[in-house]
Every structure is written in structure tokens, then in C-alpha cells.
Structure 1
Amino acid sequence: MWWFIGAMALGIVEVFTLDLTFAMLAGGAIAGGTAALLGAPLWLCIIIACVVAVLLLFALRPYLLKSLRRKGELVETNTAALVGAAARALDIVTETSGRIKVSGEVWSARTEDDAPEILEGTEVTIVAIRGATAIVAPEKGE
């Protein structure tokens, strides 16, 4: 019974995170609980729960996330939400240094490798986030 209570708790956490990670862990708990209902020993139930959770995390979750992004049903947050956003260069942006302002925040920035430098005041588009640095390119009209 504890397996299913754990799965319900993980499901509740999933409702608040919306990341599909805890849903996959809940699937593992359900598999472990099912094995326990069928009379498997505790050690085997734990192994089954872990194997199913890992399989769900690495096989099913990426497919589901890609599908949700393609349909536009997944709202991007954090740094993923900044990719594609417009910004303004506060300094000259080169392959090694620079700063931009996006949505009222100042970010360190750089251009992609072998790209020309971007002058101060130029409108740019964020093409990627690597760590705490935005990788930018000039907007098409610039």
C-alpha cells in the first residue's frame, strides 16, 4: 500500500512542478506496488521500481516533452523562455565578452564562434543560453 501512497504523493508534487519528472517516478512506484501485490519480495520491488522509473525518465519523458513543445502546450520558463527573445546590446558584444539588456535584466553575452562583433545599442536576438551567458545574434534588420 505504501507504494501507491508514494505514487500519489509524487503525482501531487508533479501537479506543482509540471516537469514530468515526478510523474515518471510515480510510474516506478506504481510498478513497485504492483510487484508487491503480486507477492514479490521487497528487494525485487525496489529494483523493479527503480528500473521502471529510469526507463520512463529516459525513454518516455523526452518524447512527451518534445510532443508538448511541438503542440505549443508547454510553457517555457526560466532560461528556456529567453531563447528567441529580443534584447539590446549595452556594450560591444564579441566572442568573449559583452552585456545585453533583456526584459529589464542585464545579462553577460557573447556572439557565436566566428561571428562578427555586435555594436553597442544594436537590437539582438538570444539564440541560446549557456550557463549564465546569453549567446546572441543581431536581428535580421540590423
Structure 2
Amino acid sequence: MTPQEGLFGWVGGHLWALWGILALLLATLELATLDLTLLMLALGALAGGLTSVVLPEMYWAQVLVALGTAVALQTMARPSLLKRLDTAPGYRSSLGKLVGSEGVATQRITRTEGEAKVNGEAWSARTMSGDIVIEAGADLEVYEVDGPILVVYPVERGELLPRPSIEG
């Protein structure tokens, strides 16, 4: 028997291990996306692996169970899980958390350009309107996030501006 025949023979008898490796790989990749898609595929692979333990010679059944489980979880469980995560108390995206944060202008900020430090991070910034200019060193507050640019206004104690809704 050649070494290749031995390897293929082992794989044929231990297909559950390949399903397990696939499940671990997909679950690990899920950590990079956090979208729950790869997690559903990993659970499908796990179901295929369990099927291979019960029905080791029925490869088609293993694949069908894996695909069926992944599709079912993707269509039924994933949407409700995402909705529960998005509507959880206190949940806001990392950009949404910037709205209302205070910072300091590190460069002069006008309607078209500027830079600010908010929560210890440097951001490109612009003011809400053309008649507002924030000088370097002045305190500011984030009104909204416009892509990679913070829309800010100067903080003058006692003057409050209405904040936009963070929903949607």
C-alpha cells in the first residue's frame, strides 16, 4: 500500500474529521466578518460531520444534511438573530457612538476641511455650516458622521443644538 492510499483510506474512514476541520475553519473566519453567515455554514458542516458518524458511507446524505442545515439556519435563524442584536438595549454602531462625543480641534475646522481629536482618535472634520469656524484647540461636539468625516460644532456652554436621530 502506498502512502497516498493510506491517507485516502484514513480520510474515507474518518470523514467526520474533515467536516470538523471545515466547521472550525468557517467558525474562525466568522470572527473576521461578524455577520453570522459563516457561522451558519459552520453549523451546517458540523451537522454534516455528525451525519458522517451515523452514516459513514453515505456521502450524499452528509452533503445534503450539511447544505440543508446551513440553508435553514441562514434563512430562518440568522435574520432573527441579527434583528435581536441590532435592537438590543444599548447597541449602537461604533460610528453611532461618536454622535454627541466631545473632542478638540487639532487644526482649524471650516465647512470644507479640518481635523479633530475625538475619543483619542484623529478624524477629518468639517463644520455644520459655512459661517461656523472652529479654531485649533477649541472644544467641539460631534453632530453627525458623514462617511469618514465628522460633522462638528463648537461647544459653547449653555447653547444646545438638536441632535439627529441615530436610528436608521
TM-score (norm 1): 0.58
> Cα–Cα, structure 1 residues 7 and 102, in superposed 2: closer, same or farther, change >3 Å?
same
Q: In the alignment, does 2:132 pair up with 1:117? A: yes
Identity over aligned residues, as a percent? 26
**CA positional deviation for 1:27:** 2.3
What is the distance in 2 between the residues matched to 1:40 and 1:139?
Answer: 66
Q: Using the TM superposition, give the Cα deviation of residue 116 of structure 1 relative to its aligned residue in structure 2, in angstroms.
A: 4.3
Distance 2:146 2:77 in 1: 24
Q: 2:124 aligns with which of 102, 108, 119?
A: 108
2:126 aligned with 1:130: no
Would you say 1:7 and 2:20 are equivalent positions? no
Number of equivalenced pairs: 133
With structure 2 as the length reference, what TM-score do the two structures score? 0.51
User: Which residues in structure 2 correspond to 1:71-90 (within 5 Å)?
Assistant: 72=90, 82-90=98-106
Structure 1 residue aligned with 2:86:
66
CA deviation profile, 1:69-127 (whole Å, cap 9, x unmatched): x2x3x6965x5654432112234423311121234443220134x47423214322223
- 2:4 — aligned with what? none
Larger Rg: 2
Question: Runs ≥4 in structure 1, deviation > 6 angstroms?
Answer: none
Whole-angstrom distance in 1 between the partners of 2:73 and 2:38? 5
AA of the residue aligned to 1:130: G
Q: Please, which of 94, 119, 126 is the counterpart of residue 110 of structure 2?
A: 94
Q: Secondary structure at the match of 2:87?
A: helix
Superposition RMSD in Å: 4.1
5+ residue gaps, structure 2:
1-15, 160-168
Query: In structure 1, the residue corresponding to 2:100 is in which secondary structure?
Result: coil
The alpha carbon displacement at 1:24 in A equals 4.1
Query: What pairs with 1:38-57 in structure 2 (closer than 5 Å)?
Result: 41=60, 44=64, 48=68, 51=71, 55=75
* Alpha-carbon distance in structure 2 between the residues aligned to 1:80 and 1:40: 47
- Contact 1:110 1:136 survives alignment (8 Å): yes
Structure 1 contact 88–124 (Cα < 8 Å) conserved: yes
Contact 1:7 1:25 in 2 (8 A): no
Q: Secondary structure at the match of 1:30?
A: helix
